[in-house]
Amino acid sequence: MTVKVGNEIFDKLGMKYPIVEGGMTWAGTGALAAAISEAGGLGFIGTGYWHGDDVRKEVRRAKALTDKPFGVNVMLMSRHIREVFDVIIEEGVKVVATGAGDPSPFLDELHAAGIVVMPVIPSVSLAKMMQRKGVDAVIAEGMESGGHIGQMTTMALVPQVVDAVDIPVIAAGGIADGRGVAAALCLGASGVQMGTRFLASPESEVHENFKKKIIKARDIDTIVTGNIAGSRARVLKNKMAKEYVKKEIEEAQKPAPDYETVEKLESGTLRAAVQQGDKDGGAFMAGQISGLIHEEKPVADILADTWAQATDILGIPNTTK
Ligand SMILES: Cc1cc2nc3c(=O)[nH]c(=O)nc-3n(C[C@H](O)[C@H](O)[C@H](O)COP(=O)(O)O)c2cc1C
């Protein structure tokens, strides 16, 4: 059996490597997305709960830096989602990745505008549902990932999703070098999505403290907040994360737990980590693979080295050489 590298979407977008940047709210800026697309991957701008105008500003920043296609990652739960999609269509963005919800109400208009739609999914049932609704590909994301996560691991999730759907599957979570890419392709994915690895690069605009924390991290240095009180998110351990987890456990013992107050502890903390490098109070979202990242590296080198290693392991031609 040979692995299938890439898919028709990657071909259409003219990508050199089957490697996508995971959308990362605040951390995945237009500059980082542009650098990744320019180097032959597919960059994504993370937009979280942003207004349309903020999305437009960042999209224009990326456009000023590259002529290559890049994507926008949207949070479907956002109150501003309508204006965000208007901006995406107006600005001619080529790809949208969606999280936290069902993109199907917007599919027809996005497809009419020629936009590829790839939801992030944490389970086989959601992958099948998304295929039925007509999305173009799915990003199967394991709980090793940084940021908001489901329950399945990448290793267990990806082959099950591959068997369940006919559309391209992109594997995400716990991938930071060529071994991870080769493994994902062996599981049947046609490409990978990486988040944490790209944060430790000169093109990444996260605060120096964030980069240092990833580089210093060991395998066991992440923790999941929100297991009880809210939505689960993987972050690097610090004062805020430990307090959050302690408080949600305390609250769960009470007859009438007040999870809303616990959840508020996390409000604004990702931005504080990304922009201020707030060591104690920030939410340094990052994956378990942080322990494999020992140095800052330009995104062009991350992509080239990762792909060279993957093709070497798989014994397939490194077509970009
Ligand atoms: C700082 C940070 C912020 C993230 N924000 C988002 C987001 O806004 N939307 C989303 O779909 N995924 C988000 N993610 C997940 C990434 O897109 C990606 O799937 C994940 O990082 C892949 O796992 P890895 O960190 O092991 O590479 C975030 C991840 C990180 C590290």
| pLDDT tens for each residue of 23-40 | 999 999 999 999 999 999
Residue 175 CB partners (closer than 8 Å, separation 6+): 154, 181, 183, 184, 192, 193, 194, 197, 289
pLDDT average, residue stretch 117-134: 97
Q: To the nearest 10°, report the CA torsion of 226, 232, 236, 242.
A: 10
Pocket test for ligand 1, best of 19, 20, 25 (most atoms within 8 A of CB): 25
Within this chain, do residues 16 and 63 fall inside the same structural domain, yes or no?
Answer: yes
Kindly state if the Cβ of 120 falls inside 6 Å of ligand 1.
Answer: yes
pLDDT average, residue stretch 174-200: 98
Q: How far is CA 218 from CA 21, 130, 227, 239, in A?
A: 22, 36, 22, 17
What is the CA 179 to chain-centroid distance, rounded?
19
Can you give the CATH number for the domain in which 156 is found?
A: 3.20.20.70
Answer yes or no: is pLDDT of 155 > 70. Answer: yes
Domain membership of residue 82 (yes or no) is yes
pLDDT of residue 33: 98
Answer yes or no: is pLDDT of 88 > 70. Answer: yes
Task: Measure the CA–CA gap between 195 and 21, rounded to whole angstroms.
Answer: 6
Kindly state if the Cβ of 19 falls inside 6 Å of ligand 1.
Answer: no
Domain membership of residue 210 (yes or no) is no
Answer yes or no: is pLDDT of 321 > 50. Answer: no
Q: How far is CA 264 from CA 224, 258, 270, 283, in A?
A: 16, 11, 12, 13
Domain membership of residue 68 (yes or no) is yes
CB 40 within 8 A of CB 16: yes
Closest CA to 15 of 80, 78, 66: 66
Within this chain, do residues 39 and 146 fall inside the same structural domain, yes or no?
Answer: yes
Within this chain, do residues 198 and 225 fall inside the same structural domain, yes or no?
Answer: no
Q: Which ligand 1 atom is the nearest neighbour of the CA of 288?
A: 26
Q: How far is CA 259 from CA 154, 224, 232, in A?
A: 29, 16, 13
pLDDT tens figures, 51-61: 999 999 999 99
Kindly state if the Cβ of 96 falls inside 6 Å of ligand 1.
Answer: no
Kindly state if the Cβ of 119 falls inside 6 Å of ligand 1.
Answer: no
Within this chain, do residues 198 and 252 fall inside the same structural domain, yes or no?
Answer: no
Kindly state if the Cβ of 287 falls inside 6 Å of ligand 1.
Answer: yes
The total number of structural domains that make up the chain: 2
Residue 215 CB partners (closer than 8 Å, separation 6+): 200, 293, 294, 295, 296
Within this chain, do residues 133 and 241 fall inside the same structural domain, yes or no?
Answer: no
Q: Which ligand 1 atom is the nearest neighbour of the CA of 197?
A: 27
Cα(184) to centroid(ligand 1), Å: 17
pLDDT of residue 263: 85
Domain membership of residue 35 (yes or no) is yes
Range of the domain at 78: 8-205+294-314
Q: Which ligand 1 atom is the nearest neighbour of the CA of 274?
A: 1
> Average pLDDT of the chain?
95
Within this chain, do residues 118 and 177 fall inside the same structural domain, yes or no?
Answer: yes
Cα(150) to centroid(ligand 1), Å: 12
Kindly state if the Cβ of 48 falls inside 6 Å of ligand 1.
Answer: yes
Kindly state if the Cβ of 98 falls inside 6 Å of ligand 1.
Answer: no
**Residue 319: pLDDT band with limits 50, 70, 90:** confident
Instruction: Specify the length of the chain in residues.
Output: 321
Within this chain, do residues 228 and 267 fall inside the same structural domain, yes or no?
Answer: yes
Query: Cβ-count burial of 147 within 10 angstroms (0-12 exposed, 13-18 middle, 19+ buried)?
Result: buried
pLDDT average, residue stretch 134-159: 97
Cα(195) to centroid(ligand 1), Å: 5
pLDDT of residue 181: 98
Bridge partner list, 222? 236
Within this chain, do residues 136 and 247 fall inside the same structural domain, yes or no?
Answer: no
pLDDT of residue 1: 61
pLDDT of residue 320: 65
pLDDT tens figures, 304-317: 999 999 999 999 98
Task: Measure the CA–CA gap between 68 and 309, rounded to whole angstroms.
Answer: 25
Q: How far is CA 5 from CA 12, 13, 38, 202, 319, in A?
A: 14, 14, 20, 28, 11
Pocket test for ligand 1, best of 20, 21, 24 (most atoms within 8 A of CB): 24
pLDDT average, residue stretch 184-196: 97
Kindly state if the Cβ of 195 falls inside 6 Å of ligand 1.
Answer: yes
